[in-house]
């Protein structure tokens, strides 16, 4: 998101007018409305998996991998 500003100075004493434009944003009201989430096959118990081919997160009831290994790491808190 870019924030732009225009400063018009007509005198040597400095800026006479400053205008700031903030781009409008629409907040997603639900997870499935996000543009990088594909919920076409959303069913009970679905999990989220990233699909690099489509650059989106997809909902699946079965996780699959092309490497044969799935590692779940919840991180450190």
Question: What is residue 47's predicted lDDT score, i.e. its pLDDT?
Answer: 84
- Provide the residue ranges of all domains of the chain, joining segments of one domain with +: 32-65
State the pairing for strand pair 37-38/47-51.
unpaired
Residue 27 CA to residue 30 CA, distance in Å, equals 9
Question: What is residue 51's predicted lDDT score, i.e. its pLDDT?
Answer: 85
Q: Answer yes or no: are the C-beta atoms of 72 and 49 closer than 8 Å.
A: no
DSSP-derived letter for residue 13 is T
State the pairing for strand pair 17-21/37-38.
unpaired
**Mean pLDDT split into 10-residue runs, the chain, 77 residues:** 60 65 70 85 84 88 78 73
Give pTM, 2 decimals. Answer: 0.47
């Amino acid at each position: 998101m870019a924030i732009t500003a225009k400063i018009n100075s007509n005198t040597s004493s400095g800026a006479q007018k400053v205008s700031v434009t903030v781009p409008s944003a629409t907040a997603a009201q639900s997870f499935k409305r996000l543009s990088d989430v594909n919920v076409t096959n959303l069913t009970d118990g679905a999990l989220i998996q990233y699909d690099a081919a489509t650059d989106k997160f997809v909902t699946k009831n079965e996780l699959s991998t092309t490497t044969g290994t799935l590692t779940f790491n919840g991180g450190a808190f």
